[in-house]
A and B are shown apart, each in its own frame.
Chain A
């Protein structure tokens, strides 16, 4: 199988370059002797890059491998194969102390602010711990830095001695953001940072993330299933389906000129806040269910549900091709 990697020239100023990343989870059977009978192909050969200072949105429905991608990039899972270049160094080849030191430069904001904070640590310890383990600050200096971080994310600096359960969901997510920011990272994976929050406070967190990006020159990989949020925050958007990237392009291009049938179907499901246009919106309803990632279709992963499927789609996998400058699509109908 061939895939043209969306590689880049140096002028693109790439921070994270993911090449042929695979994350397969083994399925083990057997009572006494375990043997691997198959793999969940959560992420199956994806390639993309993130430019310094930009936000790359990663969308797709539940179970398509978005979160796995984020975790595999940060080596919270060790990828099955592929490379993840972070500022030129392959993270997949790093381990132990080298990798641990690298974590200072890449952080993650987690989806569930209720589960991702250790319930028996104070806010001060949660945010301050990375400072200590990376030897950035300790003692009084650490405390001041923690209070500063709390101020930055819009929380009262006097909250340092409180425990996570004393906060609301939105406040907890701010703590999670402060924690990620503590080590002054270059790159943050935002793993659905607002999907567990009330609608009313989502905008606050989104705005906070945008402000911080501007202030600290952060690079985001923003994982979400909400298309309107991704549209709001991203510079470029990648659409994932069943472990693969189907389409990747700039935000404007994706929303104005979606080329992949899956992207078109996704976008057709978003209501438009204009009654006249909304009237004309025609939903493309996808039939059937997402196939199992244990046993994906032989050809294009989307062929079982594609409204415009062709014979070739069922047998051969389409190439992930740059069909227009900066617009990659994996579809037999486009650019083949």
Chain B
């Protein structure tokens, strides 16, 4: 197993190299440059020239690439941001990634907490009202995008309402989660009530879509497994129905769920543009998008590379979990 992990990590090096190369070339191939505008007005050509010289943008592309790799490999330095003059890409990631990861972790935990039990219940009560209701909610959950769900939740829970003399004073704040440092960096030993007040709406917005996919996958997979012969064997052994499901069916049905969980984990942890925008969370998500418009080459590269690393690690973790779930899978 250790050998397998080492081999996999080794082979991720060329993957990340080509990812970097592709993004490096492509972002420079897009028309326009990082210093075309400062705010609304364009910069004078002489200033642009100086800035380009400062950031070595006049060097041949291959030399820029080699320099970039040198900094990256030798010093883990992702370079300066062209747009945020006082910050490096490392700074941006260090400040925003934990905030995004915090949101992602809570949302994913919520998604698993809702999705897996919902899928199990739907499968065990297949073709009953319970199943139809769960499936219906899951479809709704998958189909409503965060950009609708977020404002909707804000409107309901974060704004005051007066309905026929009944007054609702919002208990959830609209936004600005992440003004405090994330809980898992040790600044906040136990998530307190305040934390959950801020967390619940954005995490729910992000989590519902995920939980719906997880629920549907769990249901489909469990339905398949409970028709297997060895489930009948388990019943014939004289196990209680609960033991049949928990000990024989569940673990066997988790493989497809784990498969999507890997990329899901990588995606959620590195931040989501929409949810972070709606709830004004200063996470990493927005940099994935705005850096492209800004032609902020190092930020584009840094975020892409970070996402690449997250995907590689998440998929490796998935493969390791496979081996635990299914002894027929062996790596050596």
Contacts and interface: CB of A to CB of B under 8 A. Distances in A.
A133 B243 contact: yes
Interface residues of A, number: 29
Interface stretch (A104-112, A232-240, A247-255): A104-112
Contacts of B240: 100, 133
A104 B327 contact: no
Contacts of B239: 100, 129, 133
B238 A118 contact: no
Interface residues of B, number: 22
Interface in B187-236: 228-230, 232-236
- SS class of chain A's interface: helix, strand, loop or mixed? loop
Interface in A97-130: 100-101, 103-104, 107-108, 110, 112, 115-122, 129-130
B237 A179 contact: yes
A183 B238 CA distance: 10
Interface in B90-140: 127
A165 B236 contact: no
B251 interface: yes
Given A107-B236, A130-B238, A133-B237, A117 B230 contact: yes
Contacts, number: 69
A202 to B, nearest CB: 20
Interface in A15-71: 34, 71
A165 B328 CA distance: 7
A120 B231 CA distance: 12
B7 to A, nearest CB: 23
A23 to B, nearest CB: 15
29 contacts: A71-B232, A74-B236, A76-B232, A76-B236, A103-B236, A104-B238, A108-B233, A110-B229, A110-B232, A112-B229, A116-B229, A116-B230, A116-B233, A118-B230, A118-B233, A118-B234, A118-B252, A120-B325, A120-B326, A122-B327, A129-B234, A129-B237, A133-B237, A133-B243, A134-B238, A165-B328, A176-B233, A183-B237, A183-B238
Given A104-B238, A133-B237, A176-B233, 20 more contacts: A74-B236, A100-B238, A103-B236, A107-B237, A108-B233, A108-B236, A110-B229, A110-B233, A112-B229, A118-B233, A118-B234, A119-B252, A119-B327, A120-B252, A120-B325, A129-B237, A129-B239, A130-B238, A165-B327, A179-B233
Interface of A: 34, 71, 74, 76, 100-101, 103-104, 107-108, 110, 112, 115-122, 129-130, 133-134, 163, 165, 176, 179, 183
